């Protein structure tokens, strides 16, 4: 089943890799290079999953997640946070824990797809 996934990641190569992995798996992908652009996709259309980086220009991951969660339509969608941050506790407090899972960069495409598939259930 094809799902609509938003990817927010400022690092082009990373984003393209993720995008191609998800597209190959049959999903529709909306790519955004920063938080603000990503937020613009949450305009009422059907979005099944957000994959977002934490540190991004314009609007960081925490702010993006806050905006997404504040909308009724998206308050329960799964969100995967990409991070290189080692100190998870620090991130947790910053995000108020409203994400589904962390994905540590770098990752293997297979593992990532497995997590995405699980999150989309």
Binding site for another protein (CB under 8 A): 1, 26, 69, 75-79, 96-101, 115, 118-119, 121
DSSP code of 111? H
For the CB of residue 42, give the shortest distance to another protein in the complex, in Å: 13
Closer Cβ to another protein, 58 or 85, answer by number: 85
CB 61 within 8 A of CB 35: yes
Q: What is the enclosing helix (H) or strand (E) of 118? A: helix 109-119
In angstroms and rounded to an integer, the radius of gyration of the C-alpha atoms of the chain is 13
For the CB of residue 37, give the shortest distance to another protein in the complex, in Å: 21
> Which of 48-70 are b and which e, b meaning 16 or more Cβ less than 10 Å from the residue's Cβ?
bbbbbbbebeebbbbebbebbbe
For the CB of residue 6, give the shortest distance to another protein in the complex, in Å: 13
For the CB of residue 98, give the shortest distance to another protein in the complex, in Å: 5
Closer Cβ to another protein, 18 or 119, answer by number: 119
Closer Cβ to another protein, 16 or 88, answer by number: 88
């Amino acid at each position: 089943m094809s799902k609509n996934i938003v990817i927010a990641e400022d690092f082009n190569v990373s984003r393209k890799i993720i995008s191609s992995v998800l597209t190959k798996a049959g999903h529709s992908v909306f790519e955004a290079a920063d938080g603000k652009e990503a937020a613009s996709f949450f305009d009422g259309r059907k979005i099944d999953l957000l994959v977002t980086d934490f540190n991004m220009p314009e609007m960081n991951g925490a702010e993006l997640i806050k905006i997404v969660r504040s909308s009724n339509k998206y308050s329960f969608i799964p969100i995967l946070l990409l991070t290189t941050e080692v100190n998870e506790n620090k991130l947790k407090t910053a995000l108020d824990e409203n994400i589904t899972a962390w994905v540590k960069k770098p990752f293997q495409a297979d593992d990532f797809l497995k997590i995405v598939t699980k999150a989309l259930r």
